[in-house]
Amino acid sequence: MAQPFRFMLNQTETESYGAFIPRNLRPLIDRAIPHARAQISGSPVVAIGLASSGQTYFGVNVELPGLPPNYSIHAEQFLVANFALHFELKLIGLAISPNGYYFKAPCGHCCQFLREISNMSDTKVLITGPTGQGETHGTRMLLSTFLILLGTISPGNVPRLLEPSDNSIGFIDSSLQMDICSNSEHCNHLSCRALRAATKSYARFSKCPSGVALIDRRGTVYSGWFMESVAHNPSLGPVQAALVDFVVNGDGQEFKEIVEAVLVEKRGAVLSQEDTARMILEKIADPDCVFRVLHCEYN
């Protein structure tokens, strides 16, 4: 089991590191690199995000042994999911590095994913040369260009990624609905937590919200929800989002400690997570992990 790592710094700790510039972030990159799970590629990546709250969050790449690389979690996706877990609303600074020496732009895959965040073009992206010399501050530079090339997403009346959302869904099975806890945000019932996660889904294009709750051998519950990209492929599935919660709050445990999981999604959804969730858990969780699917509908 890896040593536990705290994937965030409070405001006081953040201020102690000074300005959000590469030379101040290098010690943080060095601390986070060992907690990337890059067993396949051997290439760890760390993303650091400064939130509008004044707190700092970490993301790392997570590769899933036995599965193709397209099921991996990019460090930038991990970071956004970590923001969401802590109810952060805005990413104002972003730094990505594989080694702490130089800072690079987000990959094209993650530029598409980050595009779902409101006002992302205002985010400062830190970029340096390969040797770490000539620090630059990519305010608007990178993502603004990307947004211009791809067009913008009209915000309409739908909350954007990281903004508070309530999909107003409930279980089709009325007996399950009656058993929902009043504080489903923090209870230890998988059905409650998975439904609560699904209500937070960012699924504005498919209209197929979904959420997953996992439990480990210790009885700790973790959850995550679908975060959709207009480009589809960069979307973060609910199992991967729940795995981010597991990595952040699981004290360095391996995925094989996961013993039960619940997926909540719409019955007959045009975008179903069931087969993907089952396949991922069969590969990484306890061999006897119990997996259940519960169906929901809009209220």
- pLDDT, tens digit, 9 for 90 and up, residues 269-281: 999 999 999 999 9
Q: Give residue-wise pLDDT tens across range 95-141.
A: 999 998 889 989 989 988 998 998 887 888 898 877 666 454 443 44
pLDDT value for 4: 82
In a domain, 83, yes or no: yes
**Are residues 128 and 200 part of one domain?**
no
Q: Which residue has the tokens 């929800």?
A: 225
pLDDT at 141: 47
Same domain flag for 219 and 253: yes
Q: What is the pTM of this model?
A: 0.93
Binding residues: 61-63, 74, 107, 110
**Between 196 and 100, residue with greater pLDDT:** 196
pLDDT at 247 over 60: yes
* pLDDT tens profile 44-59: 999 999 999 999 999 9
Q: Pairing between strand 258-266 and 290-298?
A: parallel
Assigned domain for 155 exists: no
Which carries the bigger pLDDT value, residue 83 or residue 107? 83
Q: Is 282 a catalytic residue?
A: no
Residue 48 within any structural domain of the chain: yes
Give the pLDDT of residue 178.
73
Residue 164 inside a domain? The answer is: no
Q: Are residues 141 and 175 in the same domain?
A: no
Other beta carbons within 10 Å of 190: 22
Check residues 19 and 1 and name the one with the higher pLDDT: 19
| CATH number of the domain residue 30 falls in | 3.40.140.10
Q: Would you say residue 162 lies in a domain?
A: no
Dist. CA 221–CA 202, nearest whole Å: 21
Q: How many domains does the chain have?
A: 2
Annotated binding site for Zn(2+): 74, 107, 110
Q: Quick one: pLDDT at residue 190?
A: 96
Of the candidates 112, 146, 180, which is a domain's last residue? 146
| pLDDT of 168 over the 80 cut | yes
Active-site residue, from 13, 15, 76, 260 = 76
179, 122: one domain: no
Q: Is the pLDDT of residue 171 over 60?
A: yes
Q: Quickly list DSSP for the chain.
A: -PPP---EE-HHHHHHT-SSSHHHHHHHHHHHGGG-B-TTT----EEEEEETTS-EEEEE-B--TTS-GGGSB-HHHHHHHHHHHTT---EEEEEEESSSS---PPPHHHHHHHTTBTTGGGSEEEE--TTS-S-EEEETHHHHHHHHHH-----TTSPPBTS-----EEESSHHHHHT--TTTTT-S-HHHHHHHHHHT-B-TTT---EEEEEEETT--EEEEE-B--TTSTT-B-HHHHHHHHHHHHSTT--GGGEEEEEEEEETT-SS--HHHHHHHHHHHS-TT-EEEEEEEEE-
The predicted pLDDT at position 297 comes to 94
Domain boundary among 104, 131, 146: 146
Q: Considering only CA atoms, which of 191, 184, 135, 160 is closest in space to residue 22?
A: 135
* Parent domain of 126: 8-146
Give me the pLDDT at residue 131, please. Answer: 67
pLDDT of residue 154: 53
Residues placed in the known binding site for substrate: 61-63
pLDDT at position 148, please?
42
Q: Decide if 237 is inside a domain.
A: yes
**One domain for residues 238 and 196:** yes
Residue the block writes with tokens 């119990």: 290
